[in-house]
Amino acid sequence: MATINYRLADGKIITLEVDEHTALAYEKIEDETHREEERARWRARKKLNSLEEMTDLGVQFASGDLTPEETLTKNEETRHLHNAIATLSEEQQILVYRVFFNNEKRAHIARELGISKAALTYRLNTIFKNLKEILK
């Protein structure tokens, strides 16, 4: 004889005495049920990782679009920045555009200009200080 702990529908657990064959069968059923529950949880998590599935479930996502106020503020800041850049010398303007708008590597620009990367960094820091003063 063997004992098994059996969970009733209301969650209460009772201990039953059963023969060995029944105990092994019950253990096998419990193991399979546990594995199936784990698979179901895994599938549920997997579905939540799918944007398409979440959309199908009615999940709403925040828009990445700016509000009209944010757009206006950003446009004003951009205009102000471009006006500040326009006050720089032509050489300084070219450096700013190459580094920040064209995303060129500083080492590449320094080689082209025939200066060290440190010298280019010094020039850029001078430009930053000038822009900082203008943008105050």
Residue 121 has pLDDT above 60, yes or no: yes
Under CATH, what is the fold of the domain 68-135?
Answer: Arc Repressor Mutant, subunit A (1.10.10)
Which conformational region is residue 75 in: left (phi greater than 0), alpha (psi within -120 to 50 degrees), or beta? alpha
pLDDT in tens, 67-98: 888 888 889 999 998 899 999 999 999 999 99
Residue ranges matching CATH 1.10.10.10 in the chain: 68-135
CA–CA gap between residue 78 and residue 101 (Å, rounded): 13
pLDDT score, position 135: 87
pLDDT in tens, 95-112: 999 998 899 999 999 999
CA distances to 2, 13, 49, 52, 118 from 63, rounded to whole Å, are: 60, 49, 19, 16, 42
pLDDT in tens, 12-68: 888 888 888 888 888 888 889 889 988 888 877 665 566 676 677 777 777 778 888
Query: With a threshold of 0.75, does the pTM exceed it?
Result: no
